[in-house]
Amino acid sequence: MAEFLFITDLDNTLVGDDAAMQQLLDQLTRHRDQHGTKIVYSTGRSLTSYQQLKAEKHLVDPDALVTGVGTAIYHQGSREPNADWATLLSQNWDRERVRAIADSFEDLMPQPESEQGPFKVSYYLHPSVASNILPQLEAKLQREALAVNLIYSGSKDFDLLPANAHKGYAMTFLRNAYGFAPERTVACGDSGNDRAFFAVGSERGIIVGNAMPELLDWHSANPADHRYLAQAYYAAGVLEGLAFFGFLAS
Ligand code: GLC
Ligand code: MG
């Protein structure tokens, strides 16, 4: 079995079923040792919030960690985010203006300071008003010529990111850095911010069975052969998908 690039979201994808997670991580680390497979975690969490989850769930060290919905990339053993990625994201990004415009919408409730980042402005937004607020905000940002990525996840979290930042672009950056073909790359997720994994190219995609409606609806409207919707939940769904694509034996 040949090496592959494995990328996974954490909350409600890798994490959610402890026994299945352990089984998956054991198989992946064995594959990493034997074949040079790379393991990447890609989360909406900040670095601090990731470290709490890592300690709580005894997650193995990944080869790279992507935090803040694709806005920072940390290579194993480094405490500093990848500088090339930061330089890319800083182009055409005016955080203060973006924040001021978003702040003018009273339905957008700022998330705690710990979840804000140099390339990420985050709010809570109630699903009952989201479909009304989002187009208004988008129009306002457009009028001001601000190119921003708007990402609504889990029917509550709302992130504003630089136009060239999301989990999909971060995946492509790492895939090129490591030299994996799209066919040897697989990304797994459950919610709105994971859609970017499945929309950038032909990398293999696994949607776990417990995915949120926002992702399931998009998947049924945009079916693709390179994307698999698992029956099983959480890490068991990931194992099911890896067997389906032939990355790991079932
Ligand atoms: C994580 C982050 C939060 C973000 C959400 C969705 O929960 O902590 O800031 O909005 O993911 O991307
Ligand atoms: Mg998730």
CA-proximal residue: ligand 1, atom 4 (nearest):
44
8 A C-beta contact, residue 114 and residue 48: yes
Whole-model pTM: value is 0.96
On whether residue 250 sits in a domain, the answer given is no
The pair of structure tokens assigned to 107 is 């339905």
Q: Is the CB of 12 under 6 A from ligand 1?
A: no
Q: Is the CB of 122 under 6 A from ligand 1?
A: yes
Indicate the burial class of 90 (C-beta count within 10 angstroms; 0-12, 13-18, 19 or more). middle
Pair (140, 229) in one structural domain: no
Half-sphere exposure at residue 153, Cβ-oriented, CA atoms within 13 angstroms? 27
Residue 49 confidence (pLDDT) = 97
Arithmetic mean of pLDDT over the chain: 96
pLDDT surpasses 70 at 157: yes
pLDDT surpasses 80 at 1: no
On whether residue 185 sits in a domain, the answer given is yes
On whether residue 190 sits in a domain, the answer given is yes
Pair (176, 68) in one structural domain: yes
Residue 250 confidence (pLDDT) = 66
Count the neighbouring beta carbons within 10 Å of the beta carbon of residue 13. Answer: 28
Q: Of 142, 162, 182, at which residue does a domain stop?
A: 162
d(CA 250, CA 242): 8
On whether residue 39 sits in a domain, the answer given is yes
Average pLDDT over residues 94-113: 97
pLDDT in tens, 48-100: 999 999 999 999 999 999 999 999 999 998 999 999 999 999 999 999 999 99
Pair (12, 82) in one structural domain: yes
Residue 90 confidence (pLDDT) = 96
Reported in sequence order, the residue ranges of 70-226 that DSSP labels E, i.e. its strands, are 72-75, 109-110, 121-124, 148-153, 157-162, 185-189, 204-207
> What does 169-215 look like in DSSP terms, one character per residue?
HHHHHHHHHHT--GGGEEEEE-SGGGHHHHHSSS-EEEE-TT--HHH
Pair (128, 180) in one structural domain: no
Q: Which structural domain, as residue segments, surrounds residue 138?
A: 92-162
Pair (76, 10) in one structural domain: yes
Average pLDDT over residues 227-247: 98
CATH of the domain at 11: 3.40.50.1000
Pair (48, 21) in one structural domain: yes
Q: Of 162, 185, 216, at which residue does a domain stop?
A: 162
Pair (80, 172) in one structural domain: yes
Q: Is the CB of 8 under 6 A from ligand 1?
A: no
Pair (98, 158) in one structural domain: yes
Residue 249 confidence (pLDDT) = 81
Chain-centroid distance of CA 227 in Å reads 16
pLDDT in tens, 15-35: 999 999 999 999 999 999 999
On whether residue 131 sits in a domain, the answer given is yes
Pair (40, 79) in one structural domain: yes
On whether residue 218 sits in a domain, the answer given is yes
Q: In this structure, which residues have their CB less than 5 angstroms from ion ligand 2?
A: 9, 11-12, 190-191
Pair (169, 217) in one structural domain: yes
Q: For the chain, how many structural domains are there in total?
A: 2
Q: Which ligand is nearest to the CA of 10?
A: 2
Pair (56, 107) in one structural domain: no
Pair (72, 188) in one structural domain: yes
CATH of the domain at 137: 3.90.1070.10
Q: Of 162, 191, 209, at which residue does a domain stop?
A: 162
On whether residue 130 sits in a domain, the answer given is yes
- The amino acid that residue 122 corresponds to is S
CA-proximal residue: ligand 1, atom 8 (nearest):
45
Please report which confidence band the pLDDT of residue 228 belongs to, taking 50, 70 and 90 as the band edges: very high
pLDDT in tens, 118-153: 999 999 999 999 999 999 999 999 999 999 999 999
Q: Is the CB of 71 under 6 A from ligand 1?
A: no
Rounded distance from Cα 79 to ligand 2 centre (Å): 24
Percentage of the chain lying above the pLDDT 70 cut: 100
On whether residue 59 sits in a domain, the answer given is yes
pLDDT in tens, 163-221: 999 999 999 999 999 999 999 999 999 999 999 999 999 999 999 999 999 999 999 99
